[in-house]
A and B are shown apart, each in its own frame.
Chain A
């Protein structure tokens, strides 16, 4: 069951990620990226990270990507014009990419022996309680610093995007 769920959502993630890179219109890329984030949230659940999975959907897929979709709709930019590429590049591109990924797969497999395996429910330390406890004791300083960072981002975004009052 673990293997089936992992393969299903990994394939969905990779297909959506390829779609992000390949599609010409930005809105299709944005929707595909939401698909990537949704399948990653399920993979986080399989890894026992339940709080992070919920945060991924709420923050990343539900707020950041909505912001992207808004900006794409506001700017109303059309599809990208695909310029011609040489035949050599088009023929060699995909096989080289697959060879590169195969090499990467081989090295990753060698570094990590297959003895360690991910079973759903083997790690129960990803609850909101555990994350909150670590967040407010061990990582308190980064937490406060990120709140200042968010304040800076809010002020910056408002200043950059406001209408000039004439």
Chain B
């Protein structure tokens, strides 16, 4: 098929899935944090609050789109646009699965594979700093300016340990292309341990995994590094003067950045779409099993419901889960869907860790945050790179 047409179709599919994921990621976050704090979370709009993202979108679109009078109009309007654009562009190089053949067309489950894929992601996340800095400046408000400056200083300070933590598994893999990074983590050591970068080679990349994850928290301005945008700190930081759709753009950019960071962690350290254990131990049936268990649990709770409404919704959810489990068991689509399941499971687990940390940890003070980056994370990442280099030079 024509390359442009195929890319357009893939881009439309990825964009649709990504935007739906971002909306429902917010639902997941609110529910998980609520349950950590022993309360219910969104539960009124639709069954179990599932239509809450739709209600939020309607609210944000219909809110008054106020432009405060003394702002720098061009930069005020450009800043959320820049933030969202950079956050969404970085999804375009992420490999979601293997090569599939659909209606006679063979294509990879990835929009494009650049041979400088890792550098592309780093470049786009460096440009994302401008959205925050310009939002703070354009708002003509001292709280917004301070919040914007602090946030952008934090983002560029944590880019250093992020880049060094990225460099260490690249020494093991010898390639910058994301597809080849995942392919080099195929296979199993000792018959059962997956060949992921955190288990692999002369020096397992556990330290750089932790450093990358911590730097990822700081890059996306998530707790415990969210001082610049916390609501009880600088009024609301750099997005004080923004309302309705522009405010929603900043939040969409934050969730998209979160998805990018967790997807990069999965690809660099956890093996991308490679399975956890070999196929001869049955790793093809893990998704079927997982969704079947979810369906059984929903069915059980549907038969003994806590609320009267659940008598309808929970068995409906159980039917959906069983249908998905059946879809994963079909051998025709199994080779295409199972790698996608592994990628989504690992990324989803890391997103759950992000949300879990948000519900658990208090936030850093600004000077503690900057001192942590420059005095601890940066030397640790540098030392890890040095040791990785020495081990690779000696043992391969």
Contacts and interface: CB of A to CB of B under 8 A. Distances in A.
A58 B130 contact: no
Contacts of A69: 130, 133-134, 137
A94 B75 CA distance: 29
B75 A50 contact: no
Interface in A65-86: 66, 69-70, 73-74
B153 interface: yes
A57 B123 contact: yes
B116 A61 contact: no
A58 B123 contact: yes
B133 A61 contact: no
Given A27-B75, A70-B133, A70-B149, A54 B123 contact: yes
A62 interface: yes
Nearest to B123: A57
A162 to B, nearest CB: 14
A101 B303 CA distance: 82
B115 A62 contact: no
Contacts of A62: 123, 126-127, 129
A127 to B, nearest CB: 7
Given A62-B123, A66-B156, A73 B75 contact: no
Interface in B139-155: 145, 148-149, 152-153
A69 to B, nearest CB: 6
Interface residues of A, number: 20
B126 A58 contact: yes
A54 B116 CA distance: 8
A59 to B, nearest CB: 9
A28 B396 CA distance: 51
A51 B116 contact: yes
A70 B148 CA distance: 10
Contacts of B137: 27, 69, 73
Interface residues of B, number: 24
In terms of DSSP, what is the predominant structure of the interface of chain A?
A: helix
Contacts of B115: 50, 127-128
Contacts of A63: 126, 156, 159
Contacts of B122: 54, 58
Contacts of A128: 115-116, 119, 176
Interface in B201-217: none
A57 B116 contact: no
A17 interface: no
A66 B130 contact: yes
Contact of A73 (B119, B127, B133, B176): B133
A46 to B, nearest CB: 15
A119 B38 CA distance: 62
A58 B129 contact: no
A34 interface: yes
Interface in A20-78: 27, 31, 34, 50-51, 53-55, 57-58, 61-63, 66, 69-70, 73-74
A61 B127 contact: yes
B366 interface: no
Contact of B152 (A27, A34, A70): A70
Contacts of A31: 75, 134
A58 B149 CA distance: 19
Given A27-B137, A128-B176, A66 B119 contact: no
A49 to B, nearest CB: 11
A24 to B, nearest CB: 13
A153 to B, nearest CB: 15
A62 B124 CA distance: 9
Given A57-B126, A58-B122, A73-B145, A66 B133 contact: yes
A50 B145 CA distance: 36
B145 A66 contact: no
Nearest to A41: B123
Contacts of A70: 133, 149, 152-153
Contacts of B145: 73
Of listed A31, A54, A63, residue having the most chain B CB within 10 A: A54
Contacts of A51: 116, 119
Given A50-B115, A54-B123, 14 more contacts: A27-B75, A31-B134, A34-B130, A51-B119, A54-B119, A58-B119, A58-B122, A66-B133, A66-B152, A69-B134, A69-B137, A70-B153, A73-B137, A73-B148
Interface of A: 27, 31, 34, 50-51, 53-55, 57-58, 61-63, 66, 69-70, 73-74, 127-128
23 contacts: A34-B130, A50-B115, A50-B116, A53-B116, A54-B119, A54-B122, A57-B127, A58-B119, A58-B122, A58-B123, A62-B127, A66-B126, A66-B156, A69-B130, A69-B137, A70-B133, A70-B149, A70-B152, A73-B136, A73-B148, A73-B149, A127-B115, A128-B119
